[in-house]
Amino acid sequence: MTTDYPAAIIRTVGSPSVIDGRARFREIFCQLLEAESDDQSPVGECEEFLLQLNDEPAPAEPPCPLTKRTARFRVMIVPGFLNECFSNIALPLEEAILSLNDQKVKAEVLMVSGHSSSEANAIYIAETILGLDLDEDEYLVILGHSKGAVDILHALVDVPEASKRVAAVISVSGAINGTPLVEKVDEISFDLARNFLPDSCDEGDGGALNSLRTATRLSWIAANPLPGSVRYFSLATFTRREHINTLLKAGYDQLQIFSPRNDGLLLVSDQIIPGGILLGYANSDHWSVVLPLDKKNLMISGTVQMPKPFPRTILLRAMLLYVAETLETSKE
């Protein structure tokens, strides 16, 4: 695994190109990280958390200062595959949500069916969007982790009325093009595993795995242009094998056949929304970037292999600041 060659993105012929926003996002993330660190409680160096590939544009000199966030956000976070089944263990960005809820940010997790297809979850997401009581000056931002990002895109395409209420979509480790790992899953093993899942895990329509097939995803993207009224942002993840969660190492080894640039469940080149802005590459496995497993007093905490806890609260703040800058610039 090396950063000594450029970023690569897989997208279908005819789909819109990706905008490179890495330089500005790095400025925002690094400045927030530096402000958070001190001698008593160091968080870490910026380069430990954001990988810098050799084609990333150089940041401005001197760095542009952080703009004061004036926009008000309603943020909905949609978890990924099977997260519903383990919601009692960890939810994406749960500690960040608690720290950011204030007069300008209202954030919450929108739980979807862990076993259901993206088409089924899209209906629930769209109904929730349409039922929100939004103030006129509130931006609705929907953040999806893993399959959650795919479910969100389906909701915007399948229910155009819902997309008109959404200002931005942020994909974090999004399964935009699916994953080759689905073809490696033995259905018998999957059914066996499902029998051991908690009773709180609804069986749904059972279409989750098919929604994550590479053929399914690329065919859907080619046939369904995303609504142009919404802004799209992607943060991808990959890291070295020794930093991959113990439970994800088998997936990493399978994906390494294609590329060592993977996070244990997804190839990094499959995580980018076409026509959106690429924020950067988090040095993390698929779970550690959003799930606070390292902070849980449970056996699963021992599976975390990252050398330092990812600063998830800073990550969410940085993403919202970048989105705010983009949306405000678009209004000018």
What pLDDT does 189 receive?
45
Least confidently predicted of 9-13, 295-299, 325-329: 295-299
- Higher-pLDDT residue of 101, 210: 210
- Architecture per CATH, 19-331: 3-Layer(aba) Sandwich (3.40)
- Measured CA to CA in angstroms, residue 219 lies from 48, 211, 273 at distances of 36, 11, 14
- Measured CA to CA in angstroms, residue 31 lies from 48, 73, 152, 314, 321 at distances of 14, 21, 30, 10, 12
pLDDT confidence tier of residue 326, bands split at 50, 70 and 90: very high
The rounded distance, in Å, linking the Cα atoms of 295 and 199 is: 24
Q: Which pTM value belongs to this model? A: 0.93
* pLDDT exceeds 80 at position 69: no
Q: Could you state, in order of their start, the residue ranges of all structural domains in the chain?
A: 19-331
Span 175-200, average pLDDT: 67
Beta-strand relationship, 19-20 and 50-51: unpaired
Write the DSSP string, 174-215: --TT--GGGGG--HHHHHHHHHTS-TT---TTS-HHHHT-HH
What pLDDT does 196 receive?
47
Span 204-218, average pLDDT: 92
Tell me the average pLDDT of the chain.
Answer: 89
Span 221-234, average pLDDT: 97
Residue 326 contacts residue 69 (beta carbons within 8 Å): no
What pLDDT does 186 receive?
54
What pLDDT does 74 receive?
94
Least confidently predicted of 82-96, 139-153, 211-225, 232-246: 82-96
pLDDT confidence tier of residue 192, bands split at 50, 70 and 90: very low
* pLDDT exceeds 60 at position 191: no
Beta strands in 23-178 (DSSP E): 50-51, 72-78, 105-109, 138-145, 168-172
What pLDDT does 98 receive?
87
What pLDDT does 55 receive?
94
In the chain, the percentage of residues whose pLDDT exceeds 90 is: 70
